[in-house]
Structure 1
Amino acid sequence: MCLLFVYINPSPKEGEYKIVLVNNRDETYIRPAKPAHMWDCRVIGGMDAEEGKEGGTWLGISEAGKIGCLMNIFQPVEDFQDNVAPRGFIVVNYLQTEESGPDYMENIAKSGVIFNHFNLVTLDPGEESYNASYYNSQINAHQKLESGVHGFGNCQINTPFKKVQKGQRKLKEIIEEYGKLECEEQLISELFTMMQDTTKNFPDKQLIEQGRGHSEEFVKNLSSIYVSCPSHDYGTRTTTAILVDHTDRIVFREKTMQQPITLDALRWEVNTFSFFVRKMDHLFAKKNLGLKNE
Structure 2
Amino acid sequence: MCLILFAYKKHPKYQLIIAANRDEFYKRPTAPAHFWEDAPEILAGRDLEKMGTWMGVTKDGRFSALTNYRNPRENGEGKKSRGELVSGALQYQGDLKSYMEELAQQDASYPGYNLLAGDLNELFYYSNIGKKLMAIEPGIYGVSNHLLNSNWPKVQRGKEGLERIIALDNSSMIEDLFSLLANAEQAPDEILPKTGVSLEMERMLSPLFIKSEEYGTRSSTVVFMSAQEIHYVERVFSNGKTSTQEFKINL
Paired position in structure 2 for 1:119: 114
Please state if 1:275 is matched with 2:240.
no
Deviations 1:63-95 (A, max 9, x none): 1110000100011x2223322111111000110
Please state if 1:216 is matched with 2:199.
yes
Tell me the secondary structure at the aligned position of residue 115 of structure 2: strand
Tell me the secondary structure at the aligned position of residue 208 of structure 2: coil
Paired position in structure 2 for 1:29: 26
Pick closer, same or farther for the CA change 1:176–1:215 going to 2, 3 Å.
same
Pick closer, same or farther for the CA change 1:174–1:269 going to 2, 3 Å.
same
Q: Distance in 2 between matches of 1:22 and 1:159?
A: 17
Pick closer, same or farther for the CA change 1:200–1:117 going to 2, 3 Å.
same
| 8 A Cα contact 1:6 1:21, kept in partner | yes
1:108 deviates by 0.4
Q: Distance in 1 between matches of 2:34 and 2:190?
A: 36
1:137 equivalent among 118, 128, 132: 128
Q: Distance in 1 between matches of 2:138 and 2:62?
A: 17
Report 1:75-114 matches (<5 A). 75=71, 77-111=72-106, 113-114=108-109
| 8 A Cα contact 2:149 2:155, kept in partner | no
1:99 deviates by 2.6
Report 1:55-204 matches (<5 A). 55-75=51-71, 77-111=72-106, 113-126=108-121, 131-157=122-148, 159-178=150-169, 183=171, 186-203=172-189
Higher deviation after alignment, 103-112 or 36-45: 103-112
Q: C-alpha root-mean-square deviation of aligned residues, in Å?
A: 1.7
Letter in 1 for 2:203: K
Deviations 1:129-171 (A, max 9, x none): xx21110111322111110211111101253311101110110
Letter in 2 for 1:250: I
TM-score by length of 1: 0.80
Deviations 1:196-250 (A, max 9, x none): 0011123266622x1x1x33222111011101122xx0000100111013x4211
Paired position in structure 2 for 1:43: 42
Letter in 2 for 1:202: P
Aligned residues with identical type, % of pairs: 27
Q: Distance in 1 between matches of 2:163 and 2:102?
A: 33
| 8 A Cα contact 1:105 1:135, kept in partner | yes
In the TM superposition, structure 1's runs of 4+ consecutive aligned residues that sit over 3 Å from their partners are none
Q: Distance in 2 between matches of 1:149 and 1:142?
A: 18
1:178 deviates by 1.9
| 8 A Cα contact 1:5 1:167, kept in partner | yes
Higher deviation after alignment, 195-204 or 164-173: 195-204
